[in-house]
Amino acid sequence: MKQKPYIAVIVQARRGSSRLPDKVLMDIEGKTMLGWVISRLKNSRLTDDIIIATTTNENDDAIVEEALKYGVKYFRGSEDDVLDRYYQTAKHFNVEIVGRITSDCPLIDPALIDEVLSYFLENIDKYDFCANTLKRTYPRGIGFSFVKFPALEKAWKEAKQPYERVHVMPYIREHPRIFKLCSYEKEGEPLDNLRWTVDTEDDLKFVREIFKRLKNPEKAPWTEILRIIENEPELININKHVKQKELKDL
């Protein structure tokens, strides 16, 4: 039986944001947004570590403090070359399977992560990369990807376009002849019209309303959030007008 590879979720986080500055440290029901991301990720059974990948900018010292507060690892790297930041983080900690999650997704679902990871691990010889965002069937804000370190390293060496460096995974996603890709999709009707990520004040307002209604906010699955919305469809109106930033991988 093969030994399980070392799997770490790397969460990119910085205070600078063009649409909603300092959003990752904003309060949601008594915790920062980043605090909720970490707290929910800690409930994953299959991941071994959470690593916060922030920048060398002194403004992001507060991000490091938040990582230390929650007892997780951190690494500081390039502010603009996020692909390099991910690569250097993974290399520093000898991560074999690298998870990518952004810090503005406080509703990220650890059970869904384990579901996708389980499939990836069962088919580890068939794929280099697995994501639930290659074809969008889940709500925006619970998206993530996992990649083998050698594939990440190849992308780091070969990706040249600015958007390939800022958004981490485009080079891998756009080269299916080089990398073996796994698209994990939900059954039934796609729900990619639902917006659970945080880019604006209205997104934050929506997420705060959801957290008020969760019975166990550290473990609540995405399906519970869906039920809340089905029972109170007016909640969708809070941020349905917000346009998604192009290429944002959530």
**Which pLDDT tens digit goes with each residue over 44-90?**
999 999 999 999 999 999 999 999 999 999 999 999 999 999 999 99
Of 21 and 67, more confident: 67
Give me the residue spans of the domains in the chain.
7-238
Under 8 Å between Cβ of 21 and 247? no
Under 8 Å between Cβ of 108 and 163? no
d(CA 165, CA 207): 29
The whole-number pLDDT of residue 246 equals: 57
The single-letter DSSP state of residue 229 is H
Provide the sign of the torsion angle of the four alpha carbons 192, 207, 212, 218, taken in this order: positive
- The CATH architecture assigned to 7-238 reads Alpha-Beta Complex (3.90)
Average pLDDT score, the chain = 95
d(CA 10, CA 97): 10
Rounded mean pLDDT of 212-238? 97
**Helix axes 61-69 and 33-41, enclosed angle (nearest 10):** 40
Residue 107 has pLDDT above 60, yes or no: yes
Residue 200 has pLDDT above 80, yes or no: yes
Which of 77-91, 165-179, 233-247 is least confident? 233-247
The whole-number pLDDT of residue 247 equals: 52
pLDDT-derived band at 250, boundaries 50, 70, 90: very low
Q: Which of 66, 54, 58, 130 is nearest to 97 (CA)?
A: 130
**Which tens digits make up the pLDDT trace of 113-130?**
999 999 999 999 999 999
The whole-number pLDDT of residue 18 equals: 76
Rounded mean pLDDT of 157-169? 95
